[in-house]
Amino acid sequence: MGAVSAGNARLLVIAGLLVLWEIGARLFGDPLFICPPSAVVLALGPLFSDPKVVHAVAITVFEMVVAFAVAVGFGLTVGLAVGLQGFTKGAIMPVILLLYAIPQTTILPLFVLGFGIGPEAKIAFGVSQGIFPVIVSTVAGVANLPSSLVTAARSMGASRLQVLQTVVLPHMVPCFFTGMRLGMTAVLLGVLIAELYVSTAGLGYYTRHFAQSFSPPNLFALIAVLAAIAVTLNELCRIAERRFSRWHQA
């Protein structure tokens, strides 16, 4: 009952915000800059009847999924390699944190020079955004592993691979999925930023186009689609986390 009540409360809050938006946009909004939610809903049909927009959505989703998969794969590998070795952690981790602190948007021109303005540049830039949260969270998860568990596993004859599979990876699941969620958001932002500035396709390009042409209904419709994509990916991460951390929750 508590969960149902909380869900109803969330729906009421969202509905209330939409009603306030509708009233405020109609009474006080400039139609060149803002539109009510009802206009956004009406714009969805004509907007996505355009094959170019549908193709743009497919391109952006493809770039995001590939960039996210690469960021998670490399981030997990590097995080384990750094976190499991004390010397490597002391030597490499400060460099990783230094790179993480650099505003990644400032190096976008380097990706354009290296990969051009095609999907490769957006994927590479998305990876550069999402890999660091995964690395840092993985290293943190390994650091929180009690050494007694590793010692016990080795005393029972477990190999290094078995220790990794049965002790290290299960223990670091919460931290790893936290990094995945942060990395997913960073990948989404990276791909969109790259499309905004150096693309002739994708949702980022059409977002810039509708903003410059003062078309709020189409612009907010694209933002709604982007929000739906982000929520869907976040839910997939949450489902995967619940699946792989059942023992931890128990």
Domain boundaries, the chain: 40-249
For residue 70, pLDDT beyond 90: yes
Query: Which residue would you say has higher pLDDT here, 201 or 208?
Result: 208
175 vs 173: CA distance, rounded Å: 6
Looking at residue 165, its amino acid is Q
Tell me the average pLDDT of the chain.
81
37 vs 15: CA distance, rounded Å: 11
Q: What are the C-alpha distances in Å from 91 to residues 94, 99, 134?
A: 7, 14, 18
For residue 154, pLDDT beyond 70: yes
Q: What are the C-alpha distances in Å from 3 to residues 9, 10, 15, 171?
A: 10, 11, 18, 28
pLDDT at 66: 92
CB 238 within 8 A of CB 174: no
Using CA atoms of 99, 105, 108, 109 in order, give the dihedral in degrees to the nearest 10.
-110
Q: Scanning the structure block, which residue is given the tokens 């497919």?
A: 58
74 vs 70: CA distance, rounded Å: 6
What is the CATH class of 40-249?
Answer: mainly alpha
pLDDT at 1: 46
Query: Which residue would you say has higher pLDDT here, 56 or 144?
Result: 56
For residue 84, pLDDT beyond 70: yes
For residue 36, what pLDDT band results from cuts at 50, 70 and 90? confident
Question: CB 207: neighbour CB atoms within 10 A?
Answer: 21
For residue 152, pLDDT beyond 80: no
Tokens encoding 2: 């508590």
> Given CA atoms 16, 17, 19, 20 in this order, what sign does their dihedral have?
positive
CB 142 within 8 A of CB 172: yes
Whole-model pTM: value is 0.80
